Each structure stands twice: as structure tokens, then as C-alpha cells.
Chain A
Amino acid sequence: MVPLSYYLVLSGFLFACGVTGFLIKRNIITIFMSIELMLNGVNLSFVAFAAHWHALAGQIFVFFVMVVAAAESAVGLAIIIAVYRTRETLNVDQVNLLKL
């Protein structure tokens, strides 16, 4: 059986990848995908703990996170399309109308 710590390290690695991508990428879609990566990193730790402790709650949480993430991607992609239509760019640094 694979020990719990392996899963946690992988989960932390996925999360860190997400954070790094979020911080260094300029393309909105990439940023969006980094967010998904972070969510999935968390999901992995949820299921790992659920299996380890034989508790169902962790797996239920994962379902919730996936549902919400799906809804969020629908809304987020819609926003991204709207932004592209008005601004003709996907670079976040150029979406700065609210800046002084």
C-alpha cells in the first residue's frame, strides 16, 4: 500500500505548481488552469486522507469541490470570452482599466 505521505507530497507539489503558474503566467487561460491545478492538488489530499482514515466525508468534499469547480469554469470561461471580445487580449497586465 502506498503510504499517505506520498500522496501528500504529490498533493503539495501539484498545489505549488498551481501557485507558481498563477503567479508567473500572464495569459488568463493559463492562470485559470493553474487554479484548477491547485484545486486538484487539494482534492488529492482530501481523498488520500479519506482513504487513510476510512472516513467518507473527505470523498464527499471532493465531489462538492468538483461541482463548484465545474460551475466556476463555466462562469470563468464566459468572463474570459467577454474580456477577449472587448479588450482583444488575454494578457492580465493589459486588463487594467480600474487602475489609477
Chain B
Amino acid sequence: MTSSLNLWLIPTLPLAGAAINGIFGKKSSRTAVSTVGLFFSGAAFAWALSVVLRISAADMPYQEYIAHWIRSGSFSADFALYLDQLSLIMLMVVTGVGFLIHIYSVGYMWDDPSYYRFFAYLNLFMFFMLTLILANNYLLMFIGWEGVGLASYLLIGFWFTKDSAAAAGKKAFIVNRIGDFGFLIALFLIIQNYHSLNFTQVFDQVRPLAPETAGAGLLTAIGILLMVGACGKSAQIPLYVWLPDAMEGPTPVSALIHAATMVTAGVYMVSRSHVIFERAPSALMVVAVIGTLTALFAATIGIAQTDIKKVLAYSTVSQLGYMFMACGVGAFSAGVFHLMTHAFFKGLLFLAAGSVIHAVGGEQDMRKMGGLRSYIPWTFMTMGIATLAIAGIWPFAGFWSKDEILWKAYSSEHGSWVFWLIGVITAFITSFYMFRLLFMTFFGDYHGANVDEHGRGSHGHDGHGHGEPHESPMVMLVPLMILALLSLFGGLVGYHNGFEHFLEPVFGSGATAEAAGEAANSGTEWLLMGISVLVAFSGAGLAWLLYISKPYLPQKIADGLGSFYQAVVNKYYVDELYAKLFVKPLIDGSTTILWQGIDRKVIDDTVNNAADGARHVSDEVRHMQSGNLRSYAGWIAAGSAVVIAYMIWLGVR
């Protein structure tokens, strides 16, 4: 055991920042708010770095006990932290990318009237996310899980005066509750059967069990319910609908919460519970199928979107699908690898998109952009790198992780060529819509109006009202460049399975056994790798053909496809379907039965009738109190007479 690492500092620092900014921020200057916000998130990052430097593989998993929380009989859940290779990676991603996005936000949010509130929320989010990652039991993890949901709600609805933003925040929160319901039931099942929520204790009991091959069992149930939770948080079918709407939030929020970190919490949770999933093949199958379908489904929607952030949102859903596909075929390290590279390049894509939106004065419609390459060269370059990365072109980060997933989907014992094929198709579509985005935004002619009428209400951006699109300030560009470097080289840690070996202590040595098989299969692996790169290039090529070389074609194709195209543009009418199936019956039922029926007819009427009755009776009775002294005396005399008569009657009887 090493001396104490003081892990508790990592989540606590951002919490302190949130408290300071939240309490004193309103009266402080912007500089003071940014200093506090950056200092505390930066300090968390620095401390995480120092932890990485001080800890050695032999010391992991490292546990740190902070305070005791719930002790009930033999059950206990404490404020205690757990650090292994998996949480270490998450820790670096969250603090690192989080810190960069904090820096970026200084530039992006500078003109917002609620500047301090933004940083308070952002720091609060960091606190909960780090709690989620570092928890050593499911309950503390659940606290973080709910906390990030709260922070997400607050930040999506950050511009709460706008109806759509407030509604999007609510939608995200409510849809997540559905997932959390599954998560909670899974936790109850775990408590009931293993009498603990502590990761080590639960997994020690599960590990000796044999896989539940014959259909469903306890572990399968737990696994599927956990996956329901992950579906909510990580926006998988059928609960993905909140993520695209979440783009109502400020762009740094979309980058940090809805691309890089929070939405990957589901992947983290599934990976953390890999001991359970590995013993429940049916649950794994569910994960893989959901992931694969989501990847393909969301990618197809992404093709037809015109809002730059919506494209990225569907792309995020799709990439998360990849991660679940990896987890579902038992390749947890590949999933986490993609999680990490995705945090880099998707964070970068969102930040760059934010920079574009900033440049054109709040416009998000790509049809009104174009030709921005020469106006905002740095944004263009960084976004180009990110696009190459997400498309999976060698040697960018996305290539390594996506290729790893596709290979595992094909070769793993839980995998199959179907997953691989859908994955490759999705990769093609991904490459296509990402290059479409790039071409529509940066190439061709500028279609936007001049940026004089800045702000346009939609983005709270006012100020800098000069005519042409303009490059963002350095404070926004530097994070872009750092993330671009990470998107360029971040994948190299996966070279020669380095990443997988790093995670071996967590996910077990399935990898070594596979290494032997891999040698034999290396020919296949090279072939598949070649195919995926080829697919990436052809997607890019198709985008080039449609949006650069023959820009009249897309409209023709759209017309040719007719109603199918309309369905895609309208996101397959899923929102409408949900509104019909769930939202409307719920609202109607609440209105007619609960509100008009029970609340008004039963509860209100009971109270009102009781009051009315009391008034009517009193109306009659009050005549007794006439204020006439002699009538009172009369009542007394009459009463006495009755009492006396009664006594006499008693005596006579």
C-alpha cells in the first residue's frame, strides 16, 4: 500500500469551486469567476495527474475510505473511493477534457449575463462525475449518476427563459429517470442476493459463479436492468431521444456533458460491472444488439440533419452505440478505449462547432454556412482533424479504437460477423455525414447573411457585431489545438494492444488468450482493417462527390427517396411516436382521472362539502346565541330542568 493518495481531493476541489462561484459569483467580476472556475477544475486535473504519477500498477486497485455513511446490520455503504486502471482512465479523461472545456468556456460564455452560474454548474458537474467514477460502491456511484443528471438538467436548461431549452432539460431529466428506474431495481436485486453494494464484495461473490448459459437467471436480470440504466444515461435505443434535444444547452456543455463525459457513464458502469455481464451471456447479447442498432439507427438520422449540433448529437449517440457494441461482445477494454478517443475527438468536434457558431453569430444551420475555411482557419484545421479521427482514418485516434471494436465484434467469442457488418456500414455512414458536415460548413461559398444582426436570440451571443465571420479568441483556440493533438496521437496508446494490456488487471486476461489466436488471425485482422479504412475513405469520397463536386445531387436523391427521406429528416418520427404512445396517454390520464376525477371530484369536494355543511349547521344553530341575556338564562334554566328531570328519572327507576 502506498501512503495515502488523498483521492478525496479530486472530487472535492470542483465542489468547492461550485460553492464559491455559486454563492459569491453574482457579485464577483467575470475575471474572478473564471479564476475560481479554472483554478478548481485545473487543481482537480493536476491532482489527478499527480495521482497517476505516484501510483503504480501494483498498488491498484487502491481504495480510500473517507467517512462512513450507511451501516445497517451487515449491509454497509461508505463514502469510499476506488481507483483501478479503468477509473484512472476515466479520471484523466474527465479532469483533462473537463479542464480544457472550462478554459474554452471562458471565451465562449464571456458575454453571457449568467456567467457565474455557468461555471458554478460546470464545476458541480465535475464533482458529481468524479464521484461517479471514483465510487467504490454502487450506491455512491448512483449518487454521482443522479448528480450528473441534475447538472445536465441545469445546463441544458441554462437559457431557461427559452421554452425549448427548458423543455429539453425536462425531457432529459425525465427520460433519464426511466433508465434510473432499471438501475435502481438492479441495485435492489444485488442487495437482496449479495447483501452488499461494494464493488469488490459483490464481484468476489459473482466471480466463482458459472455463466448463465441456459437463458435467464439472476445475473441476466441484473445485467439487463443495469443496461436499462445505461440506456438512459448513455442515450441508447429506446431512451436516446433526450440527447439530440439536449443540444439546446450551451455548446461547451454539449461537448463536456453530452459528448465527452456524462453520456459515457453508462459505458463505464457496464464495464465496471463486467464481472456480472461476463456471466450473463444473454445480457451481453442485449447490450451488443442495442449498441449495434443504436449505432446504425442514429447514424442514418445524422445524414439528413442540417443543424450542425444535431448532426454531432446523433453522431454521439451512434458512437456510444459502438462502445456498447464493444462491451456487448465482451471487449470492454475496446469500449473504454473508444470512450477515451471519442472524448477527445467528439469534445473537439463540439468545441469546434461552437467556434463556428460563435464565428457566424449564433447560426446553427449548416445550409447558411459554407466557405468558412478561409475565415476561421484554426477552427477548420482542428475540426478537420477531428473529422478524420471520427471517420476512422489512419493514424488518427478514432481509427485505432473503432478498428479495435470492429475486430472484436468479428472475432470475440460473443461476437459475430453481423455486428461487424453493421459496424462497418455505420462507419461508412459516419464518415459520410461527418465529411458532409465539414464540406457544408467550410467549403463552397458562404451562404450566411452578414453577421451584423448578431445573437438572433437563439444563442445569447451578442457583442462583436462586425460583418464577416471571425476567428475565435485564443482562449477558445488553445483547447481546440490540445484536443486536436490528442485526437491525432491519442489513439497510439492502442498500438500493439498497449491499452488493452493496461486494462488487463481490470478486465482479466482474456486478452492474452486471444493474443495467441490473434497471431493466427492476423491475416483476417489486416483484411478487416483494410476494409474499415477503405469504407472510411469511400464515405468521405461520397460526401465529396455530393457536396463539393455535384452539389445539385443531394436534392435529387432526396426527392427520389421521397417519403423515406422525409422519415429520416424527421428522425423516423420517434419523438412523435413516443408522444402518442406514452406522453399523451399519460397527460390525458392525469387530466381526466387524476386531476378532474380524483383531485377535484374527490379531494376538493370532500373539503368543500365539509365546509359547506359546517356553515349550514352553524347558520341554524347561531340563532341560539341571540345576545339576549334572558334567553341565555332561559337556556340555562331549561338545561337544568332537563338535567334534574333526568336525575329524578334515574332515581325513580
A residues whose Cβ falls under 8 Å from a Cβ of B: 19, 22-24, 26, 31, 92-93, 96, 98-100
- Whether the Cβ atoms of B630 and A19 lie closer than 8 Å is no
- Whether the Cβ atoms of B630 and A98 lie closer than 8 Å is no
B562 in contact (CB, < 8 A): no
- Whether the Cβ atoms of A96 and B627 lie closer than 8 Å is yes
Bound form: Cα–Cα A31–B628 in Å: 13
| CB-based nearest B residue for A19 | B637
- Whether the Cβ atoms of A22 and B630 lie closer than 8 Å is yes
- Whether the Cβ atoms of A23 and B637 lie closer than 8 Å is yes
Bound form: Cα–Cα A31–B632 in Å: 13
B633 in contact (CB, < 8 A): yes
CB neighbours (8 Å) of B633 from chain A are: 19, 22-23
B629 in contact (CB, < 8 A): yes
Bound form: Cα–Cα A99–B630 in Å: 14
Q: Determine which residue in A23, A24, A96 has the highest number of CB atoms from chain B within 10 A of its CB, and name it.
A: A23
Bound form: Cα–Cα A93–B637 in Å: 19
- Whether the Cβ atoms of A92 and B637 lie closer than 8 Å is no
- Whether the Cβ atoms of B637 and A99 lie closer than 8 Å is no
Closest beta carbon of chain A to B322's beta carbon, Å: 81
- Whether the Cβ atoms of B627 and A23 lie closer than 8 Å is no
CB neighbours (8 Å) of B626 from chain A are: 99
Q: Are A99 and B627 also in contact (CB < 8 A) when A23-B634, A23-B637 are?
A: yes
CB neighbours (8 Å) of A26 from chain B are: 630
CB neighbours (8 Å) of A23 from chain B are: 630, 633-634, 637
A-B contact pairs, 15 of them (CB 8 A): A19-B633, A22-B630, A22-B633, A23-B630, A23-B633, A23-B634, A26-B630, A31-B630, A92-B629, A92-B630, A93-B628, A96-B627, A98-B627, A99-B627, A100-B627
Interface residues of chain B: helix, strand, loop or mixed (majority): helix
| CB-based nearest B residue for A16 | B637
Closest beta carbon of chain B to A5's beta carbon, Å: 16
Bound form: Cα–Cα A24–B629 in Å: 11
B residues whose Cβ falls under 8 Å from a Cβ of A: 626-630, 633-634, 637
Bound form: Cα–Cα A100–B628 in Å: 11
CB neighbours (8 Å) of A93 from chain B are: 628
CB neighbours (8 Å) of A22 from chain B are: 630, 633
Closest beta carbon of chain B to A96's beta carbon, Å: 6
CB neighbours (8 Å) of B637 from chain A are: 19, 23
Bound form: Cα–Cα A96–B625 in Å: 13
Closest beta carbon of chain B to A26's beta carbon, Å: 8
Closest beta carbon of chain B to A65's beta carbon, Å: 18
Q: Determine which residue in B626, B627, B628, B634 has the highest number of CB atoms from chain A within 10 A of its CB, and name it.
A: B627
- Whether the Cβ atoms of B630 and A24 lie closer than 8 Å is yes
CB neighbours (8 Å) of A19 from chain B are: 633, 637
Closest beta carbon of chain B to A16's beta carbon, Å: 10
Bound form: Cα–Cα A91–B275 in Å: 98
CB neighbours (8 Å) of B627 from chain A are: 96, 98-100
Closest beta carbon of chain B to A30's beta carbon, Å: 11
| CB-based nearest B residue for A96 | B627
Bound form: Cα–Cα A98–B626 in Å: 11
Closest beta carbon of chain B to A86's beta carbon, Å: 17
| CB-based nearest A residue for B634 | A23
Bound form: Cα–Cα A92–B631 in Å: 12
Bound form: Cα–Cα A93–B632 in Å: 13
Bound form: Cα–Cα A31–B634 in Å: 13
Closest beta carbon of chain B to A31's beta carbon, Å: 8
Bound form: Cα–Cα A23–B628 in Å: 10
Bound form: Cα–Cα A45–B634 in Å: 23
CB neighbours (8 Å) of A99 from chain B are: 626-627
